[in-house]
Amino acid sequence: MVNKNVLNAMAETIKPLGKKTVKQEQILDAAITLFAEKGYSNTSTAEIAEVAEGTIFKQYGTKENLLLSLLVPFIKDFLPVMADELVKELMNDDISFEEFLRSLFKNRTAFFLENREVFQIFIKELIYREDLKNELLPYIIENASSGFIKVIEIFQKRGELVDKEPEFILKTLSTVISGFFISRFVLLNRHSISDEEIDGITFSILNGIGKVDSITT
């Protein structure tokens, strides 16, 4: 597992959390809103600091560091549930894969809704910056893959998933899940997701949109 400490390295450069002053909170909130709306590059530090611009730099050193200060906690929260903790959620009961998938969508939807703006910033910056992409994407993929592959294998044994390579199933899942969240929260800037929509995408992932008796494989 390469680059395991990318996030730790990033985390070390940012301000220790918890010690936030009122001003710091104001800055972070303004930064999140503006970065999400207009993007990091198109937001000036003058806009973020409603009062004194210098305060930003006293607190965060650089504009870049301010960005990391709001991204790192998000990523640290965002990753685990994509992997190890996900397995735990499964172990304690014998839910079906459909239930598992639906609860995954609901859980992540809730998380992204809570962090909608930071998620937007994350995706937007990820797309723009080669460095972030090269450092984080492999790490995220690696991190998420290991947990998911296990889950897929478990459900294959239970006979709930097609007998294809787990990697094939993972690829399909990644494409649909990432497509679902990115299109809803980043492209369409949705502020809510209905249960029906989650049920719908869960159904489609499991059953496909083809009629069962017409499958031409």
Partner DNA sequence: GATGAATGAGGATTCATTCAT
Partner DNA sequence: CATGAATGAATCCTCATTCAT
Residues that bind a copy of itself (CB under 8 A): 37-39, 41-42, 96-98, 123-124, 126-128, 130, 133, 137, 159-164, 168-169, 171-176, 178-180, 182-183, 186-189, 197, 200-201, 203-212, 214-217
Give dist(CA 161, CA 14) in Å, integer.
Answer: 43
Phi-psi region of 46 (alpha: psi -120 to 50; beta: other; left: phi over 0): alpha
Return the one option of DNA, a copy of itself, none that residue 59 interacts with (CB less than 5 to 8 A, by type): DNA
Return the one option of a copy of itself, DNA, none that residue 94 interacts with (CB less than 5 to 8 A, by type): none
Name the residue nearer to a copy of itself (CB basis): 8 or 179: 179
Distances (CA, A) of 199 to 26, 63, 103, 156: 38, 41, 10, 21
Contact yes or no for 144/83 (Cβ under 8 A) = yes
Give dist(CA 205, CA 83) in Å, integer.
Answer: 20
Return the one option of DNA, a copy of itself, none that residue 45 interacts with (CB less than 5 to 8 A, by type): DNA
Q: Which residues sit at the interface with DNA, rule CB under 7 A? A: 21-24, 42-46, 49, 51-59, 61-64
Return the one option of DNA, a copy of itself, none that residue 146 interacts with (CB less than 5 to 8 A, by type): none
Which sign, positive or negative, has the C-alpha torsion 67, 175, 37, 102?
A: negative
Give dist(CA 119, CA 101) in Å, integer.
Answer: 21
Name the residue nearer to DNA (CB basis): 54 or 80: 54
* Both structure tokens of 189: 């800037």
Name the residue nearer to DNA (CB basis): 61 or 166: 61
State the nearest-atom distance from the C-beta of 53 to DNA, in Å. Answer: 4
Name the residue nearer to DNA (CB basis): 21 or 146: 21
Q: How many CB atoms lie within 10 A of CB 121?
A: 25
State the nearest-atom distance from the C-beta of 69 to DNA, in Å. Answer: 12
* Both structure tokens of 15: 């301000």
State the nearest-atom distance from the C-beta of 189 to a copy of itself, in Å. Answer: 8
Q: Taking every pair of C-alpha atoms in the chain, what is the biggest distance, in angstroms?
A: 67
Return the one option of DNA, a copy of itself, none that residue 188 interacts with (CB less than 5 to 8 A, by type): a copy of itself
